[in-house]
Amino acid sequence: MYVGKVFTPRLLWHFARRNLLRSLLISVLACVLHQYAGWRWLGISFIPIATIGTAVAFYVGFKNNQAYDRLWEARRLWGGITNNSRTFAALFISLVPDKALQREFLYRHIAWVNVLRLQLRKTIPWATGREHLHQTFLGEKHELEQFEAGLKKIFGDAGTDEYFVMLRQRTNIANHLLKKQIHELGRLKRAGRLDAIEHSDLVKQIGEFINHQGGCERIKSTPLYRQYSIFSRVFVVLFICLLPFGLINEMSKIGAHGVWLTVPFSMLISWVFYTMEQIGEFSENPFDNSMNDVPLSAICTTIETDMREFVGDTEMPAKAAPLEDVLL
Amino acid sequence: MYVGKVFTPRLLWHFARRNLLRSLLISVLACVLHQYAGWRWLGISFIPIATIGTAVAFYVGFKNNQAYDRLWEARRLWGGITNNSRTFAALFISLVPDKALQREFLYRHIAWVNVLRLQLRKTIPWATGREHLHQTFLGEKHELEQFEAGLKKIFGDAGTDEYFVMLRQRTNIANHLLKKQIHELGRLKRAGRLDAIEHSDLVKQIGEFINHQGGCERIKSTPLYRQYSIFSRVFVVLFICLLPFGLINEMSKIGAHGVWLTVPFSMLISWVFYTMEQIGEFSENPFDNSMNDVPLSAICTTIETDMREFVGDTEMPAKAAPLEDVLL
Amino acid sequence: MYVGKVFTPRLLWHFARRNLLRSLLISVLACVLHQYAGWRWLGISFIPIATIGTAVAFYVGFKNNQAYDRLWEARRLWGGITNNSRTFAALFISLVPDKALQREFLYRHIAWVNVLRLQLRKTIPWATGREHLHQTFLGEKHELEQFEAGLKKIFGDAGTDEYFVMLRQRTNIANHLLKKQIHELGRLKRAGRLDAIEHSDLVKQIGEFINHQGGCERIKSTPLYRQYSIFSRVFVVLFICLLPFGLINEMSKIGAHGVWLTVPFSMLISWVFYTMEQIGEFSENPFDNSMNDVPLSAICTTIETDMREFVGDTEMPAKAAPLEDVLL
Amino acid sequence: MYVGKVFTPRLLWHFARRNLLRSLLISVLACVLHQYAGWRWLGISFIPIATIGTAVAFYVGFKNNQAYDRLWEARRLWGGITNNSRTFAALFISLVPDKALQREFLYRHIAWVNVLRLQLRKTIPWATGREHLHQTFLGEKHELEQFEAGLKKIFGDAGTDEYFVMLRQRTNIANHLLKKQIHELGRLKRAGRLDAIEHSDLVKQIGEFINHQGGCERIKSTPLYRQYSIFSRVFVVLFICLLPFGLINEMSKIGAHGVWLTVPFSMLISWVFYTMEQIGEFSENPFDNSMNDVPLSAICTTIETDMREFVGDTEMPAKAAPLEDVLL
Amino acid sequence: MYVGKVFTPRLLWHFARRNLLRSLLISVLACVLHQYAGWRWLGISFIPIATIGTAVAFYVGFKNNQAYDRLWEARRLWGGITNNSRTFAALFISLVPDKALQREFLYRHIAWVNVLRLQLRKTIPWATGREHLHQTFLGEKHELEQFEAGLKKIFGDAGTDEYFVMLRQRTNIANHLLKKQIHELGRLKRAGRLDAIEHSDLVKQIGEFINHQGGCERIKSTPLYRQYSIFSRVFVVLFICLLPFGLINEMSKIGAHGVWLTVPFSMLISWVFYTMEQIGEFSENPFDNSMNDVPLSAICTTIETDMREFVGDTEMPAKAAPLEDVLL
């Protein structure tokens, strides 16, 4: 999650590079042809282009809305995981006084949270955005290459390495951790350590975790429908390419050299439209290792701290803080 | 679900064929009449047409919103089926240690998921979109002609052919599979293998499946209200037909041959509006064997894998991958 | 629910009659006065009128959104009734093996569904739309005049005529049928045929039916707020009346006879705006015996079929199909 | 709730008085200065004003959306109260055969519904809209002055005057009635007349009533955020004041006396914008004794009728009907 | 929550200071250069600027929508806390007759509500809005500097100072208070003072509080996504800077001195756009000690009053009222 508060040149550059160049080229070309080659017919009326502009602004607005909703739903799902973790832990501790069992269940829960985080950060080639856009962030900050190492560490921390060996074969490890929780709750019930209602309530909490996990996987594996997102980009680029031709005429009314104002104005207007489009594009995949991701690491740390404080640990993981204005 | 990331000529063609031709014809005709027949009155003002354009863009945006919501709701419903399948399976396994019973229930569940998939892919003549649009996809990739064969295979795989004979008479087979699950749960309770709370919790899970199935059937049997969707198309076509007449005038201001710019500009602008309309049109039926469908086969495979891993099977169905940029 | 897929002249006529005539009259009058009476001042600028047009298009879009939401909520409510009927029936059958009791409860449920349908189709004079618009459909296809006859048939089919006599005095018969279900469930519990949890779960299902019924009644008795819907119509009509005066000027620029183009263009543009408004108007009451109603009869038939198949009946009601492109 | 179906001059007057006058004054003044004082510079271009117009129309549309949502949420809450009242009553009657107890609980429930109605109609000075707008309705039709008398009557009708004496000291009487219900349900459980599950289910129903009451109080005590609603009005008034200056120029193009068309057109356009704004303003407080309120009295009557029919009463309150097109 | 009903100069100033000055400077500069330096080319066409204006108005509308939703969700969460507090208290009192225990639980609940309030008002540097904007309110009215003092008072009032010492070390004190509630409920169950169902129902209420707390923390720690909010401001400022250049030309058509009208009109239009943007900006953080915050103190007082009346206290906290039109 990007948390910078001001508009920095770096941000500008990040969002605009390619487009500014394209816009510069087209508008300069248009002006040169108009002025020196005498192709006056390049200077068409602005009004039809304004009509496209309005329609495109609608369309982009619609897409941004959907992208925002995806991001916010993802955030809500992880908020739900946080809340339910607290309820599950507090309830379990109040019902099962055995400290060792408490630790076993809550450490397994912490493992699940972290495994889910790693799984969500894996790249699904056909579902991710265009990779080259996230390259700079991919290269340095994320934990992906170390997926196995990460897993190993999680289970090592919890002192259950044999688990890791067993689970790594599975398609969906997080899934099996939750199944294990339900399984162990069933065992506690049969052993008479949980009554029917207590067991039912605790299982319902795990059911919620399954729902949250499934919700995240749904967002991850269902990119913003391509028919919507591709054409958003195509329309904006089309509008940007037509823009200089609509401006030439308006600008040439000012006087001899007015035509050259087409260049900066093309760049400005195209920048506004292109940036609007990019904002949605950069937000549509909330689990894509980009700077606008849901801050999974920070949330996992919060959950881990809560669990450990509940169970009486004194050593806590370091609190997550934004790094270079990005909270991971 | 279409998962291509770039704008291909194939996509362009798929969405635009008929419209580009129509736009070409009308605009050429308008220009010829304007230039050679001297019908200057064809060149009307662009401003009223821009007003229609704005209103139409609103209307299409509204329709696209509804189409998107239908698609996303359908996806959420199948996400819900995935999640609940996991909870149901994990809970059942933890409560009923008998391996044979576990297999019976989970295989019946897999059967339900697949039968529901086939049922949703059947065509309801009055509820589907215009068939000729999906023809290319219909002919090759879907499983529809083999509905009976598909059903037979599902029950054959589960080793319950006698079931197939019994059920094929029913109006809604998926329905009866869920009823059967509830019935068998009742039997387990009477046999003392589930207590009151366990039975209640498991039945609630089946109740959720009934809700998910009903939700999908609702979307399938209630097309996007025709009063909304028909007029969206009609308005766009009307706008497209008026467009060249509004452009002629603006273009003729440029100079002698400027009028002919009406043709490419008509085609461009009409393409933008027509495509916006088509995007919604192609998304409004998420269970229609089109390239934008919810990827039912892929989701069914995921659920089957989860169920089989839970119950201890080692042989898994192949993981679904997009074929020619379409994930079915 | 209208299920036609193409734009027919009948549909055009249905939506547009009065408006086309009005638009024709005003624009002809304006042209005559402008041309022959020399009232040049009738030809005002189009730009202020375009501003009204944009604002009105917004407003109508907002209203259509609300109308669509009402329609879709109504459809969801009946989808919910369908789903819950299946869960209730499957659960009841699995818990109470007595065939006679099963029949009694499910037939009473079928009665409730159909009584609710009839009640929702009754006209509340102050809550309905303008009656004359639905007249053609009112006269032929609906079941309203036969409300009593319909009720009698429902109870006759279920072999409980004495019930009909008792209930017809009540304000809200559907209500009392659900109360009766809860009452009988209480009796079964006291008789030891349902345990505490089973009773609670079944009662919750009936509670859901009460919610669904109440939701439908809320939509039925709370028309789309009149302050919103009246002004939508007024604004559109105002815009349509101003339109010709804005067009005259633009059209007269073309040449001598160009002014007369005002007539067809006024009619076209006004048709677009008027139709947008009408679409919402025709959708806002989903229980109003109009062609855009939720297809209550079809849904009731589906539920009845489900119930009867579950309970082992072999004779099924005929499947509902659209009649003249309308599914009732 | 206003239920009139046509646009009456009374409605027009109600919504427009002040604005029409203001618009008349400004535009006449502008025309006089432009024509007789020769202040030609008053006639500015319409295009920048159209830009403001579009932005303002957006903003007002946004506000109206929020106002509508508040109204509809309030209506849903009272729909929820209706539904839950039925479930609660039917369940209670089926579980507790004692007629006297049934009467006691349901009459207390009727008391709660009516007390809540009175409490919601009390005016919170800082949360209400501008009082002078509702004056005509305040003076005649509502029950506010008689708050104490109303309360007394409610408890008198239920034969529990001693209650009234006790409760009138409390901050929130409705609150205490629900607490009393939960308290009495606890007593019934301890007396062995309700088992654990029955008690839990009935308490959950009361919990729902607490949620509904709290939802209504939230809407009542949190007016539509002032930062949003104040500026909506300010922007519209600003636009209306600028309008004549933008029109003068356009109108003066027609000819000598064309300028005077500025007056009627200013009034028309300003009326459209002002009315849009007012519609939201008049809807934003659904519990404010205005003509657009949720019809609390009618809903209370429906609930009372349901309760009394369930408990076997024969005397019913008169059915509510709209009075002068307003349903209270 | 700001509750003033009219538009005051103070409000104007609060929202507009910096922008009015900037707009004044740019437009005066533009006019001077245009008139005296003869830079006629500064007077560009307004139409491209109008296109930017429309796109920007869309974008700002979108952002305001999200900001409003955040504010309203925060308000709903606290509404939920109010409702659940009542249900929890009423249920607990009805189940546990011991007055001392009632006091202990409800006082702990009051402590939780107030601790949560203090925690939400703490500033998270990277998540808050730009601090200097809220400075005037920060300095005088809020309770932040006294966080520790506030905590101490809360626990002192409840007579549990030893608690305070223990809890102040924890990361999230509110969290631990809820965990304590669940823990004590478990103890009451083991002591036989709550049966299984009662315990389960009460724990579910605490689970709801955990959800509400988590929801508030999610909104607090996830500012409106910066990619959306930063560019909203940048686009508006860009539009405002271009505005005078688009107006000069339009205004100079009026006559010699018309150009100077650019200054007031630039200021007016820029004020409209800037204010729209600011409204969202000022609403996006509902727990930020600003004048548009959710009125936490008032809601806490309501809850405390409810709790104390339920438990039989006679001394109540003073009812919260707006101070200088702000309800805290």
Contact residues on chain A for B95, CB-CB shorter than 8 A: 186
What is the DSSP track for D87-120? Answer: HHHHHHHHH---HHHHHHHHHHHHHHHHHHHHHH
Sign of CA dihedral B82, B84, B85, B91: positive
The residue of chain D nearest to residue C197, with distances taken between CA atoms, is D197
The residue type at B165? V
> Between chains, do D203 and E11 touch, taking CB under 8 Å as contact?
no
Per-residue pLDDT tens digits for D94-117: 999 999 999 999 999 999 999 999
B220: CB partners within 8 A, 6+ apart: B120, B124, B127, B285, B287
> Between chains, do B261 and A225 touch, taking CB under 8 Å as contact?
no
Assess contact for E28 and E263: CB atoms under 8 A. yes
Backbone angles phi, psi at B317, to 5 degrees: -65, 150
Distance from CA of A203 to the nearest CA of E (A): 13
CA distances from A109 to A84, B92, D52, D189 (A): 11, 21, 55, 38
Q: What count of Cα atoms within 13 Å lies in the side-chain half-sphere of residue E279?
A: 27
pLDDT at D133 over 50: no
How far apart are the C-alpha atoms of D33 and D26, rounded to whole Å?
11
Q: What 3-state class would DSSP assign to C263? A: helix
User: In chain A, which stretches have pLDDT less than 70?
Assistant: 129-148, 158-162, 164
> Between chains, do E196 and D197 touch, taking CB under 8 Å as contact?
no
The per-residue pLDDT for B135 is 45
Which residue, chain included where needed, has tokens 């090592």? A156
The residue of chain D nearest to residue C73, with distances taken between CA atoms, is D76
> Between chains, do B170 and C50 touch, taking CB under 8 Å as contact?
no
Backbone angles phi, psi at C292, to 5 degrees: -100, 10
Assess contact for D326 and D296: CB atoms under 8 A. no
> Between chains, do B46 and A47 touch, taking CB under 8 Å as contact?
yes
Residues shown for chain C: 328
Per-residue pLDDT tens digits for C116-131: 998 998 888 777 765 5
The per-residue pLDDT for E153 is 73
In a domain, A320, yes or no: no
C118: CB partners within 8 A, 6+ apart: C143, C147, C150, C151, C154
Q: Which residues of E86-122 are buried (b: 16+ CB within 10 A; e: fewer)?
A: bbbbbbbbbbbeeeeebbbbbbbbbbbbbbbbbbbbe
Number of H helices, E strands in chain C: 11, 0
The per-residue pLDDT for B5 is 76
Contact residues on chain B for C49, CB-CB shorter than 8 A: 51
Burial, A159: exposed, middle or buried (Cβ in 10 Å; 0-12, 13-18, 19+)? Answer: exposed
> Between chains, do C228 and D68 touch, taking CB under 8 Å as contact?
yes
How many CB atoms are located within 10 Å of the residue A82 CB? Answer: 23
What is the DSSP track for B209-241? Answer: HHHHHHHHHHHHHSPSPHHHHHHHHHHHHHHHH
Find residue C326's DSSP bridge partners: C2, C323
Q: What count of Cα atoms within 13 Å lies in the side-chain half-sphere of residue D250?
A: 26
In a domain, E268, yes or no: yes
DSSP state of D129: -
The per-residue pLDDT for A14 is 72
Assess contact for C299 and C82: CB atoms under 8 A. yes
In a domain, C318, yes or no: no
Q: What 3-state class would DSSP assign to C2? A: strand
Assess contact for C131 and C141: CB atoms under 8 A. no
CA distances from E267 to C118, E60, E64 (A): 61, 19, 22
- CA nearest E127: which of E15, E289, E274, E296? E289
> Between chains, do D127 and E3 touch, taking CB under 8 Å as contact?
yes
The per-residue pLDDT for B124 is 80
Mean pLDDT taken over chain C: 86
Range of A263-272, D78-87, D127-136, E264-273 with top mean pLDDT:
D78-87
Tokens of C77: 């409510």
In a domain, C4, yes or no: no
Contact residues on chain E for A279, CB-CB shorter than 8 A: 227-228, 231
Total domain count for chain D? 1
The per-residue pLDDT for C63 is 92
In a domain, A166, yes or no: yes
Q: What count of Cα atoms within 13 Å lies in the side-chain half-sphere of residue A234?
A: 20
How far apart are the C-alpha atoms of C117 and C297, rounded to whole Å?
7
Which residue, chain included where needed, has tokens 């707009």? E23
- Section D41-49 average pLDDT: 84
The per-residue pLDDT for B200 is 97
Q: What count of Cα atoms within 13 Å lies in the side-chain half-sphere of residue D104?
A: 12
Assess contact for D257 and D42: CB atoms under 8 A. no
> Between chains, do B223 and C3 touch, taking CB under 8 Å as contact?
yes
What is the DSSP track for C283-324? Answer: HS-TTSSSTTS--HHHHHHHHHHHHHHHHT----PPPP--BT
How many CB atoms are located within 10 Å of the residue C7 CB? Answer: 14
Angle at CA of residue E292, ends E288 and E295, nearest 5°: 80
DSSP state of B304: H
Other chains touching C, judged by 3 or more CB pairs under 8 Å: B, D
Q: What 3-state class would DSSP assign to E326? A: strand
Which residue, chain included where needed, has tokens 């939703």? E69
> Between chains, do D5 and C130 touch, taking CB under 8 Å as contact?
yes
How far apart are the C-alpha atoms of C307 and B320, rounded to whole Å?
37
Contact residues on chain B for C311, CB-CB shorter than 8 A: none
How far apart are the C-alpha atoms of A50 and B50, rounded to whole Å?
9
- Section B96-104 average pLDDT: 93
HEC readout, chain A:
CECCCCCCHHHHHHHHHHHHHHHHHHHHHHHHHHHCCCCHHHCCCHHHHHHHHHHHHHHHHHHHHHHHHHHHHHHHHHHHHHHHHHHHHHHHHHHCCCHHHHHHHHHHHHHHHHHHHHHHHCCCCCCCCCHHHHHHHHHHCCCCCCHHHHHHHHHHHCCCHHHHHHHCCCCCHHHHHHHHHHHHHHHHHHCCCCCHHHHHHHHHHHHHHHHHHHHHHHHHHCCCCHHHHHHHHHHHHHHHHHHHHHHHHHHHCCCHHHHHHHHHHHHHHHHHHHHHHHHHHHHCCCCCCCCCCCCHHHHHHHHHHHHHHHHCCCCCCCCCCCECCECC
The per-residue pLDDT for E129 is 66
Distance from CA of E254 to the nearest CA of D (A): 5
The per-residue pLDDT for B130 is 57
Angle at CA of residue C180, ends C177 and C182, nearest 5°: 115
The per-residue pLDDT for B114 is 92
How far apart are the C-alpha atoms of A54 and A235, rounded to whole Å?
11
Say what angle helices B296-311 and A173-190 make with each other, to 10 degrees: 40
Sign of CA dihedral C131, C134, C140, C145: negative
Assess contact for E14 and D236: CB atoms under 8 A. no
DSSP state of C42: G
Number of H helices, E strands in chain E: 11, 0
The per-residue pLDDT for B228 is 86
The per-residue pLDDT for C257 is 78
How far apart are the C-alpha atoms of D277 and C153, rounded to whole Å?
51
How far apart are the C-alpha atoms of D283 and B11, rounded to whole Å?
47
Residue A230: which of B7, B65, B95 has the nearest Cβ? B7
Per-residue pLDDT tens digits for B72-84: 999 999 999 999 9
Residues shown for chain D: 328
A221: CB partners within 8 A, 6+ apart: A124, A127
The residue of chain E nearest to residue D229, with distances taken between CA atoms, is E5
Distance from CA of E155 to the nearest CA of A (A): 21
In a domain, C322, yes or no: no
Greatest extent of chain C over all pairs of C-alpha atoms, in Å:
93
In a domain, E99, yes or no: yes
Residue B214: which of C4, C82, C319 has the nearest Cβ? C82
Contact residues on chain C for B210, CB-CB shorter than 8 A: 83, 86-87, 90
Per-residue pLDDT tens digits for A62-115: 999 999 999 999 999 999 999 999 999 999 999 999 999 999 999 999 999 999
Percent of residues in chain B assigned helix, strand, coil, to nearest 5: 75, 0, 25
Tokens of B89: 């399976």
pLDDT at B134 over 50: no
D151: CB partners within 8 A, 6+ apart: D115, D118, D164, D168, D173
Assess contact for A123 and A275: CB atoms under 8 A. no
The per-residue pLDDT for E130 is 57
Sign of CA dihedral D319, D323, D326, D328: negative
In a domain, C96, yes or no: yes
Per-residue pLDDT tens digits for D212-262: 999 999 999 998 888 888 889 999 999 999 999 989 888 888 777 788 889
- CA nearest C80: which of B223, B84, B210, B69? B210
> Between chains, do A54 and E54 touch, taking CB under 8 Å as contact?
yes
For chain E, 328 residues long, give each residue's pLDDT as a single digit of tens.
Answer: 888 777 777 777 777 888 888 999 999 999 998 888 878 778 888 888 988 998 999 899 999 999 999 999 999 999 999 999 999 999 999 999 999 999 999 999 999 999 999 899 888 877 776 554 444 444 434 444 566 677 777 777 766 666 777 777 777 899 999 999 999 999 999 999 999 999 999 999 999 999 999 999 999 999 888 888 888 989 999 999 999 998 988 888 877 778 888 999 999 999 999 999 988 888 888 998 778 889 999 999 999 999 999 988 888 888 888 887 788 7
Per-residue pLDDT tens digits for E79-117: 999 999 999 999 999 999 999 999 999 999 999 999 999
Contact residues on chain B for C82, CB-CB shorter than 8 A: 214, 217-218
Domain extent for E42: 9-311
> Between chains, do D275 and C176 touch, taking CB under 8 Å as contact?
no
> Between chains, do A196 and B201 touch, taking CB under 8 Å as contact?
no
Residue B44: which of C76, C196, C261 has the nearest Cβ? C261
For E51, the enclosing helix (H) or strand (E) is helix E46-95
